[in-house]
Chains A and B, each alone.
Chain A
Amino acid sequence: MSALLELKNIKKHFPLKSEKLFTKEKPLLKAVDGISLSVRSGETLGLVGESGCGKSTAGRMALKLLEPTEGEIWFKGENITNYRGEQLRKLRREMQIIFQDPYASLNPRKTIEQTLAEPLKIFGMPKGQVTQRIDYLLDVVGLSSYHKQRYPHEFSGGQRQRIGIARALALEPELVICDEPVSALDVSIQAQVINLMEELQAEFNLTYIFIAHDLSVVHHISDRVAVMYLGKIVELGDAGEVYSNPKHPYTQALLSAVPETNPHREKERIILKGDLPSPANPPAGCKFHTRCPFAEDICRVQEPELKLVSTGGQMAACHFAKEVVTEGNFT
């Protein structure tokens, strides 16, 4: 499979207000600090990490909703990093986004029909076909066409998320960034929406980047998983491998926090000490060393690179990735 989207060492640094008077130097918040990813056509890549680790920022940069500070974005073999204006608008057809908050992502003053008609009109679909297409889209996401005269506030969260999905699919994109699409929904509705998304993926041959902090949801839907910590990818690999055999201590800690469904199974819980360091002032060396139970001197000085740690293509950014496993400290 070829790469549909490639991120090459992209960074996003947000300037912060300077605390010192009379200085031009602004401190930077390093939301995303150099990540490289390649997304294959038709796959679902899960992007997980704590709140504030930069996963949403990375997703928005991939869509060019945010300009990267550094790095390149390649889509279908074209470097789209510097696309602007009309060029960028044409590209919008092929990449879409589903948002986290179904309450904030729909314009409260437009009916569902108006919301869904907008992308179609922008890309010049003849009026006669628009209605037909909207009915079809609503049907695809499990809503009825008689809903279309209603306003967003008349729908439940799950229904709104379906409308958001319908809008994203309106232009038949190839790549859909799903920015925590189910984390604002009830658990029972989450399953419905996830199933819907899987069905749609199969039907329309979609490629998903699935951003979430819920590990079990990601495990369920993803082919591959990337784990982010403080703006960096710390582990990347096939979902099965990463989940069954995590190589990076951060991934291990994350996975140990997933509640066990079997009450008889013993499970060792790794509790990380301390708080997530501020991305405005990240620690030197390995960014995880302040909380890592295995940190040694080298971790405080040298930043580990993402390197291959298994024959299956699993990658981890840890100086001791191999040793951690052989010591067998984790289950």
Chain B
Amino acid sequence: MSIEPIPNVEVEQGKVKSTKSRSLGMEALFRLLRSKTSIVGLIIILILMITALFAPLIATHDPTVQSIPNRYQAPSSEHILGTDELGRDIFSRIVFGTRISIQIGLIAVGISMVVGVFLGAVAGYFGKWVDQIVMRFIDIMMAFPSILLAIALVAVLGPNLRNAMIAVGIVGVPQFARIVRSAVLSVKETEFIEAARAIGGKHGRILFGHVLPNSMAPIIVQATLGIGTAILDAAGLSFLGLGAQPPTPEWGAMLSDGRAAIQHAPWVVAFPGLAIFLFVLGFNLFGDGLRDALDPKLKE
């Protein structure tokens, strides 16, 4: 019996692309790199990563050394972004703050993701009463404004950076749970899941081997977008004095410390604010690009 030839050569924009076998993930990466906004996002993220990695080399001063005679200095060649109310170099503090922000973003989103994906997957896959219990619990969490819930959690756990990360992580759980649940609901009705049941697969194998890998796209997107929100929330907590404690150069805390001087020394708040803005923008642009790349049906 003859076999049809395999169409393994993709011709696109006049170019013949590689004939090598490519997974869906690789296809998505190619689409991602074709979008300009996601490249901008990626560049911002890369700059932030490099800044965090090489902070001691990039910073011009020690971020915690005070110099009272030099307080509230305007940006100059010595202090390129000026100094704050204790005479600390703002540029150096922002550079070191990048480390903290990335740490907050990753750890908080990591917590939301692990807990949220598990809850959402179990609720969506098993349905019935499991779904009811999990999702009603999630509804209760969502009834609180996120920052309020975070404040309440930190108030209970005690105000420090670690607890702020945990609080922000917990606050992000409902988002993940709902997104994963809906993805799982649609994937579990597909024929290949039925096939997996027909060949005798156990629930764990079907859920983690078939359902979740096919629900990854929204999870990845939510994780990327969630990093922006997480650092915003954490900055909010620090601003309220519930997150990073002095003299940690956390951006939100810097805003808080400098807010009294906003009239005569606007650079004290402007630059940390800009840093937060850039960080959130970078992850949001990249996350949007990722969403389009991972789900081409959504856009076209």
Please report A residues at the B interface, Cβ cutoff 8 Å.
Answer: 60, 63, 65, 89-90, 92-93, 96-97, 99-101, 104-109, 118-119, 122-123, 142-144, 147, 149-151, 153-156, 158-159, 164, 167, 170-171, 189, 192, 195-196
User: Which of B4, B21, B209, B210 contacts A149, CB < 8 Å?
Assistant: B21
A107–B21 contact, CB under 8 A?
no
Taken together as a complex, chains A and B put the C-alpha atoms of A106 and B210 apart, in Å, by 10
How many residue pairs at the A-B interface have CB separations less than 8 Å? Answer: 92
- A-facing residues in B13-70 (Cβ within 8 Å): 21-24
Chain A residue at minimal CB-CB distance from B209: A118
What are 19 contact pairs spanning A and B, CB under 8 A? Answer: A60-B194, A65-B197, A90-B200, A92-B198, A93-B200, A99-B194, A100-B191, A101-B191, A104-B191, A106-B195, A107-B196, A108-B24, A118-B196, A142-B1, A150-B21, A154-B8, A156-B6, A167-B199, A189-B4
Which B residues touch A155, using CB under 8 A? Answer: 6
- A-facing residues in B132-191 (Cβ within 8 Å): 190-191
B210–A107 contact, CB under 8 A?
yes
**With A151-B24, A154-B21, A156-B4 known to touch, is A108 a contact of B214 (CB < 8 Å)?**
yes
A123–B200 contact, CB under 8 A?
yes
Shortest Cβ gap from B4 to chain A (Å): 5
B201 proximal to A (CB < 8 A): yes
User: Which of A122, A144, A192 contacts B200, CB < 8 Å?
Assistant: A122
Please report B residues at the A interface, Cβ cutoff 8 Å.
Answer: 1-4, 6-8, 21-24, 190-192, 194-202, 205, 209-210, 213-214
Taken together as a complex, chains A and B put the C-alpha atoms of A256 and B237 apart, in Å, by 75
B23–A122 contact, CB under 8 A?
no
Taken together as a complex, chains A and B put the C-alpha atoms of A164 and B191 apart, in Å, by 11
Which B residues touch A196, using CB under 8 A? Answer: 1
Taken together as a complex, chains A and B put the C-alpha atoms of A106 and B200 apart, in Å, by 16
B213–A109 contact, CB under 8 A?
yes
B3–A143 contact, CB under 8 A?
yes
Shortest Cβ gap from A7 to chain B (Å): 18
B23–A109 contact, CB under 8 A?
yes
User: Which of A99, A119, A149 contacts B199, CB < 8 Å?
Assistant: A119
Taken together as a complex, chains A and B put the C-alpha atoms of A107 and B2 apart, in Å, by 25
A105–B4 contact, CB under 8 A?
no
User: Which of B7, B23, B198, B199 contacts A151, CB < 8 Å?
Assistant: B23
**With A109-B213, A151-B23, A159-B6 known to touch, is A99 a contact of B201 (CB < 8 Å)?**
no
Chain A residue at minimal CB-CB distance from B25: A109
Give the interface centre of A89, A123, A189 by most chain B CB atoms within 10 Å: A89
A167–B195 contact, CB under 8 A?
yes
Taken together as a complex, chains A and B put the C-alpha atoms of A129 and B29 apart, in Å, by 35
**With A99-B195, A142-B1, A153-B24 known to touch, is A89 a contact of B6 (CB < 8 Å)?**
no
Taken together as a complex, chains A and B put the C-alpha atoms of A155 and B8 apart, in Å, by 8
